[in-house]
Amino acid sequence: MRKNLAMAGRGSARSLGMAAIVLAVQALFLVDAGTAMALTLTSSAFKPGDKIPSKYTCEGADVSPPLAFGGVPEGTKSLAFLMDDPDAPDPKAPKRVWAHWLVYNLPPDSQGLPEDASRTGLPKGAVTGLSDRKQAAYHGPCPPIGRHRYFHKLYALDITLPPNALTKAELEAAMKGHILAQAELMATYQKGDP
């Protein structure tokens, strides 16, 4: 009987030992998964929450800012970018979200978009959608009143989108259920900013 109890005790110790090994391996994988890089969107022209330099607005050259992408997840088939203003026309009484720039079907290995990308050229296969001005081009901040927020959004998608020029609503509908990761960069502008 003592021999059976001793064997049972050893079995329990082995089970606990195995359980500890399994937990340690799981923790190792969780640490590795936790260190996976998240999708990032940055600009060398401004930091998150900063003012957008007038060069990139209707009061300046009205060229798109330089943007850098990082941490694109595995399985990404294309990237989509959207810049919009939720404070139109007046931040104190917003009535709509105004789409300034849409670019999609960017290759997953894209490192970003250069300054003045609409004119200098997008990566092969990339498509410019229709802004709320009904133009397939960048148009920068030009708030009629007050300080507006401008959200620059990057999406990693598991599909390639149709090659025709989509509106913001059509782009968002086409991306639904296909977003692997997203990143956001917000900056502000008010007429008269340097």
Residues 30-58: tens digit of each pLDDT: 333 444 579 999 999 999 999 999 999 99
Its pTM stands at 0.81
β-pairing verdict for 78-88 and 127-128: unpaired
Q: For residue 101, how many other CB atoms are within 10 A of its CB?
A: 24
**pLDDT tens digits, one per residue of 51-109:** 999 999 999 999 999 999 999 999 999 999 999 999 999 999 999 999 999 999 999 99
Q: What is residue 51's DSSP assignment?
A: B
Which tokens go with 42? 């940055």
The secondary element (H helix, E strand) that includes residue 84 is strand 78-88
Q: Tell me: pLDDT of 22 over 60.
A: no
CB 41 within 8 A of CB 103: no
Burial of 95 (0-12, 13-18, 19+ CB in 10 A): exposed
